[in-house]
A and B are shown apart, each in its own frame.
Chain A
Amino acid sequence: MSLRTAVKYIDLTFEIKKRNLLSEMEYRVSFLLQMIGMITNDLGWLAVWLMVFARFPNLNGWTSNELIIFQSVTALAWGLVYFFASGADMISTYITEGTMDHFLTFPKNLLWHISISETYVSSLSDIIFALGLFAFSKDVSITGYLILITVGVLAALVAYSFMVIANTLTFFFGNFKQGAWSLINAFAHLTDSPQSVYKGGLKFISIFILPAFFVGMVPVTLIKSFTLGQFGLLILAVLAILFIAIKFFYFGLKRYESGNLININL
């Protein structure tokens, strides 16, 4: 892909997202409720872990400061995924119902088109929450924010890739919507809990099977003490999982069976 094409795709993505956002904002009460609902959701989660840390201030080297950084990174990553690419979570539905035809008729990249086709506007609250929460961390600084945003984007790519892989399994297992949901849920749960306590099998799974370490532990370490080696490792992991996700999706696509439904999209 040339740089010009990449810029065109980025432009188009922002244009589509802008329109989706404006369309959602038409219903102001609903929009505000979604934003408030999501922030309450995030605060509830934070409250539980703060209660755990109030009782046990040090969990394998993690204190409430690491928890705040961790919650900031994961909220930012999931916020970015659900704002920009939540359509990836619909892949399983499209396969099961045979309704991917609509996307297949367009000239743009299929996976990109499916991914950006849905927007969870409430995930903007996640992004705002993440940036706001980081201000309470002991590591807050302009450099800290720059690293947070960089590793947050990389973590989002890992989460997005995993979402694509989990949904793509539907090509091979038939009705796998619930299975894909469970896999993503397990992955999300790994990114919700303090990862300093993961050992043995759980740690292995978090690195190699459900790569939650690249959404939590590695970004937190980088924000705490940035090293080029760790950063390079994160970029390598992102590239590897993104490559696998894209290849796996197009490999599975060969098994796609159309539902032969006639839809009119206005």
Chain B
Amino acid sequence: MKALGKISKYFEIGKISYLNNSAYFIGTISRGFTVFFRIWIFTALYRTTLNAYGLETINNLSLANVIWTLMIVQAFGSSTRPNIESLIQDEIKDGTFAYTINKPYSYFKFNLARSFGNIFSNILPNILIGSIAAMILVGPIQITFIGLMLGLILMLFGFILDFLISFIIGICAFWMEDITPLTWIHGKSTMVFGGMILPISLFPDKIQKIAELLPFSQLFYAPSKVITSGNFSDFIHYLPIQLIWISVAGLISYAVFKKGVRNVSQNGG
């Protein structure tokens, strides 16, 4: 019963975050618009490339397959805004952090709930608008029920991993004046090695093997690949890598949080 009470507390935090984020309709739609626009640019890029080289597929991937994979990656990636690391940094700098750690909830779980509240308010419009864009630009692709379910499991783990990385970066505000450079490096690494512009399947072989082992490809690319391919073997390939990175990031976030909390000074008043 006590455990249920604890879960419902964080569920309520997530719900508030969800409602708060959904209240701004223009914001939600405009994020979807960004996904739409990117998909349009990618379609122009890959269509021109295929036409110029007289190809039907790239590495056995059709144009529709490439675009749908990119659309899902982009839709998942855009759902994590606003970035939790900036919120944590602001709270550390303005002193809110010192107050919140005394409250009867875990700061870590509070942020996890807040982050998932944001994600759930963004993901449906992003996927909906992105799917409309992909449907208009390249037509439908076949997505199996099993592929969708397996992809959703990886998506959940991908969001947890993304949260853990963002949490670690946010907590670094205890030691750094400004965490923005870390945010850029994280963002760009996700863009390059996370298949947000060029699907990892299209990377040169050696780089592809390395990219698939990095955490960045496990955030949004792995789930979108499984959703579009529907392959159980892809799921089995990505799941252990994801779980290893979640464990590593979880341990690091625990350690930096413990160390960071020691830096808090409360002056009363």
> Which residues of A are interface residues toward B (Cβ below 8 A)?
27, 29-30, 33-34, 36-38, 40-41, 44-45, 47-48, 51-52, 54-56, 58-60, 122, 173, 175-179, 181-183, 185-186, 189-190, 193-194, 196-199, 202
- The A interface is mostly helix, strand or loop, or mixed, namely helix
- The size class of the interface chain B forms with chain A is 35 or more
Is the CB–CB distance between A30 and B53 below 8 Å?
no
CB nearest to A196 among chain B residues: B48
CA distance A126 to B267 in the complex (A): 41
Name 18 interchain pairs, CB-CB below 8 A, sorted by A.
A29-B177, A30-B176, A33-B181, A34-B178, A41-B187, A44-B189, A45-B192, A52-B197, A59-B45, A122-B181, A177-B27, A178-B27, A193-B41, A193-B45, A194-B45, A197-B47, A197-B48, A198-B44
Is the CB–CB distance between A59 and B185 below 8 Å?
no
Q: Which of B32-40, B93-101, B160-168, B235-243 contacts A (4 or more CB under 8 A)?
A: B32-40
Residues on B with beta carbons closer than 8 Å to the beta carbon of A54: 204
Residues on A with beta carbons closer than 8 Å to the beta carbon of B33: 182, 186
Shortest CB-to-CB span from A193 to chain B, Å, is: 5
A52-B198, A60-B52, A178-B27 known; 8 new pairs, CB 8 Å cut-off, are A33-B176, A48-B198, A52-B197, A175-B27, A178-B28, A186-B34, A196-B48, A202-B40
CA distance A78 to B48 in the complex (A): 27
CA distance A29 to B178 in the complex (A): 10
CA distance A45 to B181 in the complex (A): 15
Shortest CB-to-CB span from A24 to chain B, Å, is: 9
Residues on B with beta carbons closer than 8 Å to the beta carbon of A198: 41, 44
With contacts defined as CB atoms under 8 Å apart, how many contacts are there between chain A and chain B in the complex? 110
Shortest CB-to-CB span from A247 to chain B, Å, is: 24
Contact status of A55 and B202, CB under 8 A, knowing A37-B181, A179-B26: yes
Shortest CB-to-CB span from A56 to chain B, Å, is: 5
Is the CB–CB distance between B52 and A34 below 8 Å?
no
Residues on A with beta carbons closer than 8 Å to the beta carbon of B30: 178-179, 181-183
Residues on B with beta carbons closer than 8 Å to the beta carbon of A173: 26
